[in-house]
Every structure is written in structure tokens, then in C-alpha cells.
Amino acid sequence: MNRKTKLEDLSNEIFYEVFDYLHMLDIFIGFSSLNQRIWHMLKSIPLHINISLANSRKQIDFLLSHLTFHEDQVISINTSDRIRDHSSVIHLLFNRHYFINLKSCKLLLIYSMTKLNNIIKQIGNLNKLVILQIYQPDRSDLNENNNDELTRILLTNKSLSLRVLK
């Protein structure tokens, strides 16, 4: 009974259960540099990106550096365009990475029509996307100006998987 259990002694199933409750940033901050076994597990799990106003630029840069090796694992994105230092994040995500397995995309407060148009064009190529929500509560001008383009892209998209559009 004096045997000490180490983190590495836990089964893969326990790690997978823990990962199910965490967002991508938390997973990579806590687990990415522990050992090869955990690194290989991280290569096989679905990832959820959740970015809010509380995140710092340093955290976003860390996240983006890991996305280079894991962008195909991202299945959901829930992000505000601005973070703590008022940097724009959504453009960085979609400009640097292509999320081929993205199923759910929730974007909040995109501050530039140009950025929104670019994102809408990229979203039109995501064949596995099921949920797309764009919240622009204080910017009705962006909603009105982009509705036609968004509708055109989504209706001409070859994918029929999109089920929710808000």
C-alpha cells in the first residue's frame, strides 16, 4: 500500500475522459510536453477551441503554434473576435489554418466586414460543418451587408451537412 501512483500510470481511457472536459488551450498547456505517450494521445482526440475576451495574446500564440500540428482534429470553434489586449483572433484562426473536420463554428462580434467576408468564403468549403452561428448583436450593418453573401455561399456549397445557421 506504500506504492505511489504517477500520472503516467493512469490508463489512456482516463486521459481521454479528462480531455473530453477540456478545451484545446487547457489540454495543451497542461499536457503537451509531459511525455511521448501523452503527445501521441493528443494526436488522436477531437479538439474544441474556445477563445474569449479573458484570453491573452500569449495564450493565443501558444494555441496557434499547436494548431499547426492539430488543425485536422478541431471539431468545434467558439470564439470572440477580440481578446484581452483587443487583438482580433478570428482572422488569425481562419487565415492560418484550415479546419477540414470542423462541425460547429460559433463566432462572436467580428469587427471587420472584410474579415467576415473572408471567413464566410472559407466556411463555404467546410464540408463537415453542421452548425454555424455568427453573433453580431451591436452591428446590424454587418449582418445586413453579409446576409446575401452568406446565403449565396451556403446555398451553392456542395455539402448538405449544415443543419443550423443563425
pLDDT, position 144: 60
The residues, ordered by sequence, that sit 6+ positions from 135 with a Cβ below 8 Å of its Cβ are: 106, 107, 108, 109, 166
Query: In angstroms, what is the C-alpha Rg of the chain?
Result: 18
- Is the pLDDT at 42 greater than 80? The verdict is yes
Place of cell 448583436: 137
Backbone angles phi, psi at 164, to 5 degrees: -130, 125
Averaged pLDDT for residues 80-94? 82
- Give the containing element (helix H, strand E) for 75: strand 74-80
The confidence score (pLDDT) of residue 50 equals: 93
Helix (H, G, I), strand (E, B) or coil at 10: coil
Per-chain mean pLDDT for the chain: 82
Rounded to an integer, what is the distance from CA 99 to the centroid of its chain?
8
For the chain, which residues make up each domain, given as ranges? 46-165
Model-level pTM?
A: 0.81
- Residue 6 has a pLDDT of 81
| Long-range CB pairs of 115-123, under 8 A, 24+ apart, other chains included | 115/81, 115/88, 115/90, 115/91, 116/142, 116/146, 117/146, 117/149, 118/91, 118/94, 119/90, 119/91, 119/94, 120/146, 120/149, 120/150, 120/153, 121/153, 122/94, 122/98, 123/153
